[in-house]
Every structure is written in structure tokens, then in C-alpha cells.
Amino acid sequence: MKIQNICCIGAGYVGGPTMAVIAKKCPDIKVTVVDINQARIAAWNDENVDNIPVYEPGLPAVVAEARGRNLFFSNDVDKAIDEAEMIFISVNTPTKTYGEGKGQAADLKWIELCARQIARVAKGDKIVVEKSTLPVRTASTLKDILTHTGNGLSFQILSNPEFLAEGTAVDDLMNPDRVLIGGDQTEEGLKAIQALVDVYAHWVPEEKILTTNVWSSELSKLTANAFLAQRVSSINSLSELCEHTEADINEVARAIGTDSRIGPKFLKSSVGFGGSCFQKDILNLVYISRTYGLQEVADYWEQVIIMNDHQKRRFAKKIIKSLYNTVNGKKIAFLGWAFKKDTNDTRESAAIYVADHLLNEQSAIEIFDPKVKKEQIYTDLDYLGTRSPEENRENLLVGTDPYKICEGAHAVAVLTEWDEFKSYDWQRIYDSMLKPAHVFDGRNLLDKEALKAIGFQVHAIGTAD
Ligand code: NAD
Ligand code: UDX
């Protein structure tokens, strides 16, 4: 079967970039990305491609090339479903905030709504592709909803998890390590798998397109994120030991990373991992394991989250301790709020939790981030519900000039590893701060010796002060 029309439900950090690259690479396929969020679709359609809602290096050029040719963004979900032979579901699947599984299970209400909408609108057979990250066995829920509509249509469910990382999404999509496609191992299922293989084969070498049964594919995505996050928690756990022993975590990471069995990637110790995926997906894995009564499996993976929470708290506590055990009324300048560089996404960013901890100690915080908007920062803090929105706005300010936010500060804390922070005039920053002037480098980004030579008291993750 040759696919001519693709619809993607969900125009977020995954749906937008993924479909833009499919459209760029497959000019013979019409790709329509739909969303219920009108502002988001309007932003994707903004005449100025630099105003698209997702900040990703290289993405504006891809959108500019394909938009209006074979890439469309729309709020008309029904129409796009009706037209498409293949429908990707790329909606959000956050951790449940209520009821059974609260705080751990994935909330699948948006997934179910999509399935019901497809069932209601479809007039012909469709291939439905799970692009969202989903608990293993979700495909059976989708199949159940889609096949009990009584309209006699046939639906194939594929799992095609997305492995892109934010900040490098375009590169990751253009040159993926692999594409994973899971489906039923029946004649119809294999045909559907092949149809999706043919889409990716426009630009991905066939040996990099892995096909599996649907359950392996669903579970592989949770597993990949669990393994990656586990490496960060492992190195972070040892960063604390380094701070007590004069071992240097950067040297330890280099030493173990050259072992080809371990490899050098994902060994950067930090203030803690953030992002919309790692925590949510591990909690989900923990929940699923508990559901099957696998207590030891659940406890094993839960420890990755426990260590990450500890790392964020530890960073805030270190600031307080170094500032003579009180930050009451003291200004602390934050460089960075995004959960990593080269993205405007702040979901689960360590900065949110560090700020919350310091605000509890009545510190005054000023923040600069090159891409995150002020309203987003307040939304993130208000969402925690620790204090009133008015109090958040009173004690935390957001600036547009990095030098200004550091003026009169007791300490600067680096929360995101934006490249530009490295080339700031640190002498100028030092001169404008109260003394002793502290730098807390939560990303091991800055040149510690150079800062010390200026006069800063430098505290980096995983090295003795
Ligand atoms: P997102 O919140 O940025 O985007 C989801 C979009 O879906 C929103 O714009 C929302 O309005 C829309 N939506 C929700 N319900 C809808 C409905 N019924 N009809 C139409 N639109 C609807 O989320 P995201 O970061 O793009 O993540 C989407 C999925 O991809 C999640 O399951 C996530 O775990 C997974 N994932 C994310 C990443 C990442 O880096 N962000 C990477 C891999 C996988
Ligand atoms: C992750 C997965 O990498 C990606 O494959 C999946 O599709 C979605 O989830 P993402 O969250 O966008 O991607 O970014 P990633 O580069 O994985 O970083 C996650 C967090 O870990 C960030 O806060 C980052 O700063 C932190 N991190 C990463 C470290 O602290 N140290 C490292 O060595 C690597």
C-alpha cells in the first residue's frame, strides 16, 4: 500500500518537527498536522518561520521548505483524519495527577480521545501509528476502541516511538540511529508495517529500520529512556562521592567512557536531568512493573528518580550552606531555566525545583534564559502550588540582560548549559556582585580555574570546592 496522505494529531515538540522532516523528505506525501490548540497551530502557520512554537536549531528552514507545499498545520482534526490513510497520534501522555496511579501512571485520556475521534470520523480503513510514548499494551486499548464501532472498518495499529532529543531534533530525525516500527505479525499487520517502512525509506537506510512485534516496540521506548536516565543518575550519584574525596567526576567520566563497553555519551554530571520524558517514562515503567507484582523491578528503576530528586535538592542545599546557611533576602542570579540547551522547553527542568527550594528559604531570585519566556517561568512555578502566584512574582524576577540580573547578587547559579554563558565577560559580572562572589556551576560548563583567578568562589558538580 502506498501512503499519499498522512495526518498527525498533536502539533507539539514531537509532532511538529517529526512531520516537518517527513514532509521535507517525502514531497510525494501530503502531511497535515492537527491540534486542538488554536494558538499553537497559528504559531506553526506564522508567516515568519522564526515564530514557530518550538525552538529547535535548523527547524525553521525545514518548515519554510515544506509548508504550503506538502506540509500543512490545521485545527480541522476531522477533515485531516478523513483524508489520511495513515494517522500518527502524537499527543501528550503526562503522568496522572489524580485517581488510581496518581503520580506514576501515564494519563492516556488524550490518546483515548484521539482513538474515539478516529473511530467516529473514519469512512475507510486506516493505519493508526502510536508516535506518543505509551505503556506497553496500549495498542490493545486502541484496537478495542477502534474495532467496536460497528462501522465494519479495519484498523491496523503500529507502534513507532520517537527517539529524538530536544535541541538536536532535526539532526536526530534526519540521521536517526534507528527507526523502530512494531506491528501485528499477521498478513495485514505486516502490510501496514511495510507501508510505514516505505515512508521512512525515503531517507533512512533500510538496515536502520527495525521491525518488531507491537509490544516490544512499545516497551523499547520506555526502556531506552530508562537506560539513558539511569546513566545520568549513576554519574550524578558518584559526583557526590567525588565532592567528598577530591576525585574529579569529569576525569572519572572520561576514564570510564573510553571503555568501549561503557561509551562516552550521557556521562555528564549535572544538577539533575529534566525534560518531559525521563521522569514520566520511568515512573510509568515503575507503575507497570508494580501492576504485574514485580516489586524488585519497580524498586530498581524508582531509584533512578530518587537519585535525581536528591541531586536537585543537594544543589539547592549547597547554595544555602555556602552562603552561611541563610539565603534570606539574598539575591541569587540564575543563568538558564530550560531543561537543557538549545530548547525553549522547560518541562521538569531542574531549575524549577532549585528555585522552589531557594524561595522556601526566602531568597530573591533573578533569572535569565536566552529562549524561555517570562510567562513560562511563572507558569512553571505556579504549577507547583508551593506559594501564591503573587508571592512568586514578588520574589522571583525575570530579566532580559544577563549582566543586569547578576548586579548586586551574592551568587550566580548555572542551571542550563547554554553555550553563550561561557563567553560572558565574567570579570564584569564579578565586579558588579557582592563579595565574596559565588558561582554554582550546575552543568560543569565554565572554566573553574579562570573564574577562581578572577576571585570567584567556585562550586562545581562533582569536584571538591
Ligand atoms: P506536547 O505537549 O508538546 O504536544 C502534544 C500536543 O497534542 C499539544 O499541542 C496538544 O494540544 C495536542 N493534543 C492533545 N490532545 C489532542 C487531541 N485530542 N486532538 C488534537 N490535539 C491534541 O507533547 P510532546 O512533547 O510533543 O510529546 C508528545 C508525545 O511524544 C508524548 O507521548 C511524549 O512522551 C512523546 N515523546 C516526546 C519527546 C520529546 O522530546 N518531547 C520525545 C519522544 C517522545
Ligand atoms: C530524551 C531522550 O534522549 C530521547 O531519546 C527521547 O526521545 C526523549 O527524551 P530529551 O529529554 O529531549 O530526550 O533530552 P536529553 O538529551 O536526553 O536530556 C535529558 C536530560 O538529561 C536533560 O536535562 C539533560 O541536561 C540531562 N543530561 C543528559 C545530563 O544531565 N547529563 C547527560 O550526560 C545527558
Give the Cβ contact number of residue 273 at 10 Å.
26
Residue 1's pLDDT band (boundaries 50, 70, 90)? confident
Residue 151's pLDDT is 79
Q: Is 228 in the pocket of ligand 2 (CB under 6 A)?
A: yes
Q: State how far the alpha carbon of 16 is from the alpha carbons of 11, 52, 202, 234, in Å.
A: 5, 9, 19, 33
From the CA of 341, give the closest atom in ligand 2: 25
Instruction: Residue 134: name the closest of 63, 222, 67 by CA.
Output: 222
Nearest CA to ligand 1 atom 43: 162
Tell me the three cell numbers of residue 459.
562550586
ipTM here: 0.98
pLDDT digit string, tens, across residues 162-198: 999 999 999 999 999 999 999 999 999 999 999 999 9
Is residue 64 pLDDT above 90, yes or no? yes
Q: Considering every ligand atom, which ligand is closest to the CA of 166?
A: 2
Residue 435's pLDDT is 98
Residue 465's pLDDT band (boundaries 50, 70, 90)? confident
Average pLDDT, integer, range 37-65? 97
The cell 531534533 sits on which residue? 169
Residue 148's pLDDT band (boundaries 50, 70, 90)? confident
Pocket test for ligand 2, best of 166, 175, 218 (most atoms within 8 A of CB): 166
- d(CA 276, CA 348) in angstroms, rounded, equals 6
Architecture of domain 238-460: 3-Layer(aba) Sandwich (3.40)
Average pLDDT, integer, range 373-389? 97
Instruction: Residue 66: name the closest of 38, 26, 35, 14 by CA.
Output: 26
Residue 176's pLDDT is 98
Q: Is 225 in the pocket of ligand 2 (CB under 6 A)?
A: yes
Q: What percentage of the chain carries pLDDT values higher than 90? A: 98
Instruction: Residue 222: name the closest of 297, 136, 293 by CA.
Output: 136
Is the link from the previous residue into 436 a cis peptide, with omega within 30 of 0?
yes
pLDDT digit string, tens, across residues 227-265: 999 999 999 999 999 999 999 999 999 999 999 999 999
Average pLDDT, integer, range 315-330? 98
Residue 83's pLDDT is 97
Q: Report CA torsion sign: 48, 54, 57, 58.
A: negative
10 Å CB burial of residue 295 (0-12, 13-18, 19+) is: exposed
Average pLDDT, integer, range 216-229? 97
Residue 388's pLDDT band (boundaries 50, 70, 90)? very high
Nearest CA to ligand 2 atom 28: 266
Contact 159, 134 (CB under 8 A): yes
For the chain, domain boundaries: 5-204, 238-460
- d(CA 298, CA 209) in angstroms, rounded, equals 31
> Is it true that 5-204 and 238-460 share their CATH fold?
yes
- d(CA 48, CA 116) in angstroms, rounded, equals 35
Residues with CB under 6 A from ligand 1: 9-15, 34-37, 40, 77, 90-93, 110, 113-114, 132-133, 162, 164, 166, 276-277
Instruction: Residue 116: name the closest of 154, 158, 145 by CA.
Output: 145
From the CA of 117, give the closest atom in ligand 1: 18
Q: Considering every ligand atom, which ligand is closest to the CA of 270?
A: 2
- d(CA 90, CA 78) in angstroms, rounded, equals 16
Report the chain's C-alpha Rg in angstroms.
24
Contact 31, 72 (CB under 8 A): yes
Residue 52's pLDDT is 97
Residue 235's pLDDT is 98
Q: Just list the catalytic residues.
A: 162, 221, 277
Q: Is 352 in the pocket of ligand 2 (CB under 6 A)?
A: no
Residue 275's pLDDT is 98
Is residue 150 pLDDT above 80, yes or no? no
Q: CATH number of 5-204: 3.40.190.10, 3.10.620.30, 3.20.20.450, 3.40.50.720?
A: 3.40.50.720
Residue 332's pLDDT is 98
Burial 106-131 (b: 16+ CB within 10 A, else e): bbbebbeebbebbbeebeeebbbbbb
Average pLDDT, integer, range 215-225? 97
